Amino acid sequence: MTGYVAVAEIDIDAPAARVWDVLTSADQLKKLWFGAEVETDWKVGSPITWTGDWEGKPYQDKGEILEVEPGRLLKLTHFSPLTGQADRPENYHTLTYTLTGDTHLKLEQDNNASEDEAKHSQEMWEMLVAKVKQAAEA
CATH code for the domain in which residue 20 is found? 3.30.530.20
Give the burial string for 32-65 (b: 16+ CB within 10 Å, else e).
bbeebebebeeeeeeebebebeeeeeeeebbbbb
Please compute, for residue 26, the number of CA atoms within 13 A of its CA located in the half-sphere on the CB side. 8
Residue 50 three-state SS: strand
User: 2-29 pLDDT, tens per residue?
Assistant: 689 999 999 999 999 999 999 999 889 9
Q: 16 is in which domain, residue-wise?
A: 4-137
Q: What's the rounded mean pLDDT across residues 70-80?
A: 96
How many structural domains compose the chain?
A: 1
Within 8 A by CB and 6+ apart from 2, the residues are 110, 111
Tell me how far CA of residue 102 lies from CA of 11, 51, 71, 126, in angstroms: 8, 33, 12, 19
Q: Identify the pLDDT of residue 17.
A: 96
Whether the Cβ atoms of residue 106 and residue 12 lie closer than 8 Å to each other = no
Helix (H, G, I), strand (E, B), or coil: what is residue 15?
A: coil
The per-residue pLDDT for range 37-71, each reduced to its tens digit, is 999 999 999 999 999 998 888 999 999 999 999 99
φ and ψ at 89, to 5 degrees?
Answer: -50, -35
